[in-house]
Structure 1
């Protein structure tokens, strides 16, 4: 039986990957220490997801480990001897990073480096999948000419009609400290691939979402927005008139792509992983969608101050992914994704 090691296994993507690979017959090992609760307080607690994995997956082992623990990471990988590694653990908040810069960098940059070196010491042939972020591009996408429509912004430049490609620049742009720590991790993953000829990949995620997301105000925009609607809580829009656009990809489709990569890994590859243009919505459009599902009007306030380094409009160009892995495509529409998130919060409340 093949063995998969997943860091951040109690998070949205980590848990989806664990369940997906468990369903196709892999033995799954998860690393998580509920650091999300440390970063975001009780509302970010993911122990419920850890329990769900233990109950749901036949061959699942939880490992309580902080990826900043270098010796612990090296020993664990050598002991488990996994056939593939999926690294989703991170300090994930664009905004929170400035308040906890050392924790952010040590988790995102140093933690990733610990895992890479531990993998190299164990084997040069094990696929290493890293969940990176579109924040590696900083706010450079905001320089693209845009059209302002009634409820959203969109690119006016035809060069970007399919979204942001992997060739888009990552330097001379404001990233936020989170973006900077993730750039460090992203480049390290690429370098281990190129320098040591290891099968590594950076998945530069857009708005990764799904029903098992523990969304909070500082991370998990769509999940948190749906939760606010369900509970009648006021949602704060930060700048850009609420017309800022994201492409939303369901965690299941992320897990499916990871499976495709592990089956046919490539060296030092990079992909922009999002829902693509078809799965885009602005905050104002998201209000309309969830109100249509729940029957509740969205309560919100507007703060003119946009988040530092935030994207006005961002969606991923998926053509490279689909070209390299023609067996993969988006299967969960925006509407279905909203409905699943709403149903999940209803059950949990």
Structure 2
């Protein structure tokens, strides 16, 4: 009995992707699920071709070489059309007629992982809101007392004592603390939406109008690729425009004057997408992990609440936002909307 026929039942009944590979990890046979998930029409391809990055394959291959099997190896695989999938791989060596054969079972965990990430974001946003309300209560009361005491003190200081500089410092910083609390509350609390059915492109164009002067002043190029066939969405125009405007301003500020190229595009498949890309300074891997954290900012004078507010507005629209970046090359924000909300 051939190796392929020995596992025929497994091939036919499994909903997971299954591949038989030779000692060089080239495909001998794959099941229907593998062909559908990775757009494979013929065998002979190298398993390496399906890994999103060479380093991920090297890690997998080294584990297989050392242990002759790999259990629950989480990695990112890529379909023939470039679609990335978060997968778990179980692979074992089988000795058949003095030949090494490898059987790999691949489970697509993309939906589960995405659902976990969305749940985590929602929980984090909810927790941020609770902390913000607690901070507001605990700080605003003594801050109000401080401001009142400052005004009383100003009345009691003799005219010949010049303390205006110190009074101004205390007042400005008290006002800044109060502003930060207000912004934190606004950026983290659930948004009450005034939804209307309208074109996403219309909202994008209205946001672009508000930054055109900045683009012209800094001699930056704007590239638009808006799909006019995308369906209308249930949108709160003012809030979504605010979120898009925040992303556009961030992109402009990240690019060099006279060299910046801002690319904005919309398209659709099962979802409707908006993408904002710049060729600016990029975001480091360390900073990417903190991008939507409150009070984290890459700007010297930033409050670190802008992207938190963006995320909150998009979450209220049942939209997802993803970020990819390469330091010194580009940053890309991709927003995914459901066609029917």
TM superposition score category, shorter chain reference: under 0.3
TM-score with structure 1 setting the length: 0.21
Which protein is richer in strand relative to its size? 2
Normalising by structure 2, we get a TM-score of 0.21
